[in-house]
Amino acid sequence: MKITLKDGSVKEYAGAMSVIEIAADISEGLARMACAGEIDGQVVDLRTVVDRDCELSILTANDKAGLAAYRHTTSHVLAEAVKRLYPEAKLAIGPSIDTGFYYDFDAPSFSREDLDKIEAEMKKIIKEGAKIERFTLPREEAIQFMEEKGEPYKVELIQDLPEDAEISFYRQGDFVDLCAGPHLMSTKPIKAFKLISSSGAYWRGSEKNAMLSRIYGTAFTKKDELNEYLEYLESIKKRDHNRLGRELELFATVDVIGQGLPLLMPKGAKIIQTMQRWIEDEEEKRGYMRTKTPLMAKKDLYVISDHWEHYKEGMFVLGDEEKDDEVFALRPMTCPFQYYVYKQSQKSYRDLPCRYGETSTLFRNEDSGEMHGLTRVRQFTISEGHLVVRPDQLEEEFRGCVDLAKYCLTTLGLEGDVTYRMSKWDPNNAEHYLGTAEMWDEVQDMMRRMLDHIGIQYTEEEGEAAFYGPKLDIQAKNIYGKEDTMITIQLDMFLAERFDMSYVDKDGTKKRPYIIHRTSMGCYERTLAWMIEKYEGAFPTWLCPEQVRVLPISEKYHEYAEKVEKELKNNGILTTVDERSEKIGYKIREARLQKIPYMLVVGQKEEEDGVVSVRSRFNGDEGQKPLEQFIDDICKEIRTKEIKKVVVTD
C-alpha cells in the first residue's frame, strides 16, 4: 500500500500497519511526539490499522487535533485519580475542549484543596506510565461491563447507541473508561497540567437531570506554555464582567430576587439608557416606526405563532392549562405583537416596507446552569425590529439591516471582534421546523445569495436556525472563549401565512409579505457585558456614566469646583465633584480606579485664571486649559462618539 505523507512524500508498505508503527518507521522522535493520526482528513487513534492507500498525517501536540487527544488522555488521568481518592464517585463524561478538558462526576462538589489533592494523585499516575490499551465489546456486553462497575451514566450512554454498535473502551492500568478516543499510547508523555476550577453542571445539560460536579483543567507539553496560559487566565480574570461590573457598581445580583435577574445599578442603567436613546434615534433616521406592546399575552397568541409548540419549555407560563380558563405567558419575543400592529389596517404595496422597532423587554426560562452574569439572563432588553416587505424589497431591506448592525458594532468599537454565521435548519429534525424541505432550500439559497452580494465572509451552521427561518448570526467570544450570538437577522417566509398578513398588490390581489426579524445592536445586557470586558470598564467617553470628576484641592475651592460642575452639566456632560477631605493624590487614584475619563483639578491658580488642570486616562497630565476649550473638546468627543486609546492605566 502507498501512504502519502503531509509533506507529499510517499511511503510504501507490503502489509497493514498501525498509525503509530508508521510514525516509528518515519522517525522514532516523531513516534514519541505522536498524539493521533489523520487518514484522508479524518482524525483517528494511533492504534488504527492502515490497510489501504491513503493520505496520512501524524498529529502532535502542535496540531489542534493532536493537542485535543493529549488533553483527552489527561482527562482520563483525572478520572482515574478521582476514582482512586473518591471510590464512590460516578463517572459521566470527560472531553477535551478548546482551553483544555473537563470531567463530570456524580460526587460532592470539589474544593480547591480537593483539586490540589487530585493533582498530586494525577502526578503519581503519570509517573507510573501505564500503557493505554483500546478494546471493544458488543453493546449488551458493554452495558453489563459498566453495570458491574457501578457506572450508571456510562450505561445510559451505551444504551443510546444502536443495538449493533461495537463499543470502544480504553484501559490504563486498573482504570477503564468508555471512550471513542483517540488517546496517547501511555500516560507517560503528559508533562504539564493544571486543574483550574470546579463547578456544577447538569447531566446532559438539562436541569431535569442530576447536578454533577465538573472539574476543569488544562494541559500542555511544556511547563513554560502552561505557566504562560495560567498567567493569561489571571490577566483575563481582571476583565471578567462579573467581577469588574460589580466593582464598578454597574450591576448586582441578589439571591432573594432570583438567578438570571440582575439589578442594573445607576451607573449601569445610565450606560444602557445612553445606548437605548442612540439606537432609537438611529432607527428613526432609518425609517423605523416605534411600537410599545404588552409584556405578556394569552396562550392563544403563541399557539398561532407556533411558539407554544416549539418554545413552550423556554417560556414563563402564568396559570394552569388544565384548571384555568385563560393561561398567559410572559413574552419571549415581540414578533407576534408587532404583526397585530401591522394588521390593524389593510396595507397596500405602496405602504411597504413597514419597519417596526421596539425596545423590548423579554423573558426566557433559561436553565440555571446556563446563566452567567449579564450574558445569559432570564429577563433582558433588546433592540428588536420586524420589517414587513414585498418580495422585490427583500434584498435591499436585508442589506439595510446588515448595514445598521455593522454601524452599531463600528460605533461601539466591536466590529473587529465578530464573526458571521448563516444558521440553517437541520433536515434530519424536520419536525422541529415550519414548512417543507423545498421551502427551506429556497429561503436558505435566497439568504446565501444576499450575503454573497453584500460581500460578507461567513460560515454555515446546520441546526441553528429559528423554527420559522434561517438567520444571519453575528457571533462574538467572551474573555473565556465562549461564543454567544450578539446580533441576529432572520428571514421568515412562514409566519405571515399563520397570522393572515397581507398587502394589496398593484394588480389588486392580496399577497403574502416576507418578514425580516432583526436586532440592531442585540441584547443591551449582553452588549454591556461584552463592552465591560472589551474596555476593561474604561468605556468610550460618550458611554461613560461619569465623564468628568472635578477635584478641588481643598475646601476653599469647593465653590469654584461647583461652578465648573454647573457649566459642564449645562453642556450635557455627566459630571460630579469630589468634595471629600482627602489629599488630591488620593482623589486622583480613586477616579482612575473608577475608570473616569477626565479629572479636572482646581485650586487657587485655576480659580484666578478661570481654567482647569486636566488629567485624563488618555494622556495623563494635559496641563491647564480654559474651561470653554475643555468643554468644546469633550463635547466634540462625545458628539462624534470617538474611541480614544487608553494610555494611562491604574
Per the annotation, binding residues for Zn(2+) are: 335, 386, 517
Q: Kindly provide the b/e burial profile for residues 337-367, where b requires at least 16 CB atoms within 10 angstroms of the residue's own CB.
A: bbbebbeeeebeeeebbbbbbbbbebbbbbe
Burial class (CB in 10 A: 0-12, 13-18, 19+), 312: middle
CA 418 to CA 636: how far, in whole Å? 28
Residue 130: count of CB within 10 angstroms of its CB: 18
| Residue 226 and residue 220 in contact, taking contact as beta carbons nearer than 8 Å | yes
C-alpha cell belonging to residue 597: 475619563
Torsion on CA atoms 197, 203, 205, 206, rounded to nearest 10: -130
| Residue 382 and residue 523 in contact, taking contact as beta carbons nearer than 8 Å | yes
User: With the C-alpha atoms ordered 111, 113, 116, 121, is the resulting torsion angle positive or negative?
Assistant: negative
Give the list of residues 6+ apart from residue 634 with CB closer than 8 angstroms, or none.
541, 547, 548, 573, 598
H or E segment at 194? strand 192-202
Nearest to 71 by CA among 234, 237, 229: 229
Residue 604: count of CB within 10 angstroms of its CB: 12
Nearest to 545 by CA among 265, 287, 319, 337: 265
| Residue 480 and residue 239 in contact, taking contact as beta carbons nearer than 8 Å | no
Count the residues in the chain. Answer: 650
Give the list of residues 6+ apart from residue 37 with CB closer than 8 angstroms, or none.
19, 23, 43, 44, 45, 46, 48, 56, 57, 58, 59, 182
Give the list of residues 6+ apart from residue 379 with CB closer than 8 angstroms, or none.
260, 261, 361, 362, 363
Torsion on CA atoms 450, 452, 458, 460, rounded to nearest 10: 70
Give the list of residues 6+ apart from residue 129 with CB closer than 8 angstroms, or none.
186, 187, 188
Nearest to 272 by CA among 378, 382, 408: 382
Give the list of residues 6+ apart from residue 181 with CB closer than 8 angstroms, or none.
45, 69, 72, 134, 168, 170
C-alpha cell belonging to residue 486: 450578539
CA 378 to CA 367: how far, in whole Å? 9
CA 373 to CA 524: how far, in whole Å? 13
DSSP assignment of 349-393: GGGPPEEEEEEEEEE----GGG-BTTTB-SEEEEEEEEEEE-GGG
CA 12 to CA 1: how far, in whole Å? 6
CA 112 to CA 97: how far, in whole Å? 21
Annotated binding site: 335, 386, 517
